[in-house]
Chains A and B, each alone.
Chain A
């Protein structure tokens, strides 16, 4: 058995370069966010990596006003679950969207947010 098709390091290295990566089960067609060993739908281990376009709509969002250590100077900031056009979702920090214009259904586009050598998933205006 080989290593995972896409591990965490791969996912975030690609994300840092602006590319989102999903994994598709070649047995049952299930699309997922990596990493995963076995397919949650059919139990097989037959993944292929697939590029995700990074386009989607906000499924839910919040504006964080009391932050954990390390984020205190950034408040208020928005975090959203975004439903991507391919059907999977991703959580990310919302950037360059006025907080008062946030709403469920708003179209957004993936962008990597890099700080202190750490990459996080971000979403900006579509």
Chain B
């Protein structure tokens, strides 16, 4: 495969918007095109991510819609859906298109709009990412899925609700410095521990919010990227899948898809977890960050909770995790999240992250999880 680089990134403000998801994507894409310093007509294809558009916006066929909004109505485009890992999955396929030599410049990303529908509708649409026969009829929600994982992790390793609270506190502390974040406000462990249970043992402040927003990335071949001031190279972009059904998972305290996607990415990039300077990972719930830090090999199984408590994942700690504020503070527009994580790592590796900069970061990792831990993508990025 040819080498592929990210040469442009764009992210909308995350939070509540009065515009359609396709409009939000178009704003992010415009920012990415300007950031890349290319002519819009240089974009040869669009890989577009969105999850709930059919339900929340009565809108399908979003690829052509987004391309038309951009003023690029004739480029090939397809919409991707892989639950919360949607735009990271789109990214991997876009990398393969450029890597294979089919195109030299590809736009990839996604958007979501959900805050205009009532919470119980949003909760229902998100639950469509679990199984319609065995899981949805029980009234299981996504907080519920991760509550089952949290309980299993607590039973196996002694992980505590206080350790989980430290994840939320750290990500809110990081998010204060991200102008695009939905919540830019520090919280305490007491805020988390005293918040109401959503799905025991997870409380409101263990959960990321519902969010509207868009994110976009411009990929380029090596020849095009060499003309850019600071190309960030895609060292690997790997996907792994696990059984759709919670009932088929042998050990609920682990996310084996994370372990397998990470192993593939490290192998392809010729790097290991010890080489990673900065991580953006999928903290849809605080326990999800703890389990992900273990699955990515940053800490031994069972050490994710203590690591959060000791501050090892803070900016300035052993391995900074979610300097953007993560899904918890930055917000989680599910169709945009993967691309937004990639935008943050690119910004970090360029050294452009301002007060949330991880000093000297040269290798970064993004991790995005979809559904009942059934889809995971892991990508590695480097300055050289």
Residues of B within 8 A of A63 (CB): 197, 199-200
Q: List 16 A-B contacts (CB under 8 A).
A: A33-B248, A59-B252, A60-B148, A60-B152, A61-B151, A64-B140, A64-B141, A64-B144, A68-B127, A68-B141, A69-B123, A72-B120, A79-B138, A79-B140, A81-B247, A104-B151
| B135 at the A interface (CB under 8 A) | yes
Cβ–Cβ < 8 Å partners of A60 in chain B: 148-149, 151-152, 155, 252
A65 CB–B CB distance under 8 Å: yes
Interface assignment of A44: CB less than 8 Å from any CB of chain B:
no
Contact: A33 with B245, CB < 8 Å? yes
Q: State which residues 268-290 of B face A: CB under 8 Å.
A: none
> On chain A, which size bracket covers the interface?
35 or more
Complexed CA–CA distance, A33 and B127 (Å): 21
Please, which residues of chain A bring their CB within 8 A of the CB of B201?
Answer: 62
Q: Report the nearest A residue to B200, measured CB to CB.
A: A63
A98 within 8 A of B: no
Q: Which B residues between 39 and 65 are near A, CB-CB below 8 angstroms?
A: none
> Which of chain A's residues 54-111 have a Cβ closer than 8 Å to chain B?
59-72, 74, 77, 79-81, 88-93, 104
Assess whether B144 is in contact with A62, with CB atoms less than 8 Å apart: yes
Contact count A vs B, C-beta below 8 Å: 105
Chain B residues with CB under 8 Å of A121's CB are 134, 138
* Residues from chain B with Cβ under 8 Å of A89 in the complex: 246-249
Among candidates B121, B196, B200, residue contacting A62 with C-beta atoms closer than 8 Å: B200
A14 to B309, CA, bound (A): 48
B137 touches A118 (CB 8 A): yes
- Beta-carbon nearest neighbor of B155 in chain A: A104
> Quick check: A93 and B139 within 8 Å, CB to CB?
yes
Please name all residues of chain B whose beta carbon is closer than 8 Å to the beta carbon of A5 when the two chains form the complex: none
Query: Which single residue of chain B is at the shortest CB-CB distance from A67?
Result: B139
Residues of B at the A interface (CB closer than 8 Å) are 118-121, 123-124, 127, 133-141, 143-144, 147-149, 151-152, 155, 196-202, 243, 245-249, 252
- State whether the Cβ of A47 lies closer than 8 Å to any Cβ in chain B: no
CB < 8 Å: which of A65, A70, A71 contacts B199?
A65
Chain B, residue nearest A118 (CB): B137
Judged by a CB distance under 8 angstroms, whether A46 is at the interface is no
Residue of A nearest to B204 (CB): A66
Report A72 CB to chain B, min CB distance, Å.
Answer: 5
What 13 additional pairs, Cβ within 8 angstroms, besides A40-B243, A81-B246, A81-B252?
A59-B152, A60-B148, A60-B155, A63-B197, A63-B200, A64-B141, A64-B144, A64-B199, A65-B199, A69-B118, A80-B148, A88-B247, A120-B138
Grouping DSSP codes into helix (H, G, I), strand (E, B) and loop, the A interface class, with mixed when no group exceeds half, is strand
B139, A74: Cβ atoms closer than 8 Å: yes
Chain A residues whose CB sits within 8 angstroms of the CB of B124 once the complex forms = 68-70
A42 interface residue (CB < 8 Å to B): no
Question: Which B residue sits closest to A72, measured CB to CB?
Answer: B120
Shortest Cβ distance from residue A20 to the other chain B in the assembled complex, whole angstroms: 12
Point out the residues of chain B lying under 8 angstroms from A104, CB to CB. Answer: 151-152, 155
B-chain residues with CB within 8 Å of residue A40 when the two chains form the complex: 243
Contact digits for A112-126, partner B, Cβ 8 Å, 1 yes 0 no: 000000111100000
Q: What's the minimum C-beta distance from B140 to chain A, rounded to whole angstroms?
A: 5
Bound-state Cα–Cα, A104 to B134, Å: 21
Query: In the complex, A93 Cα to B155 Cα: how many Å?
Result: 21
Nearest-neighbour CB distance to chain B for A43, whole angstroms, equals 15
Q: Inside 8 A of B137's CB, which chain A residues have their CB?
A: 118-120
Are A33 and B141 in touch, CB under 8 angstroms? no
Asked if A69 meets B246 with Cβ closer than 8 Å, knowing A62-B144, A64-B141, the reply is: no
Contact bitstring A26-58, B, C-beta under 8 A = 1, else 0: 000000110000001000000000000000000
Q: For A65, A68, A77, which residue has the most chain B Cβ atoms within 10 angstroms? A: A68
Q: How distant is the Cα of A59 from the Cα of B155 in the complex, in angstroms?
A: 10
A88–B155 CA distance with the chains assembled, in angstroms: 19
Q: Is A4 interfacial (CB-CB < 8 Å)? A: no
Chain B residue nearest to A74 in the complex (CB): B139
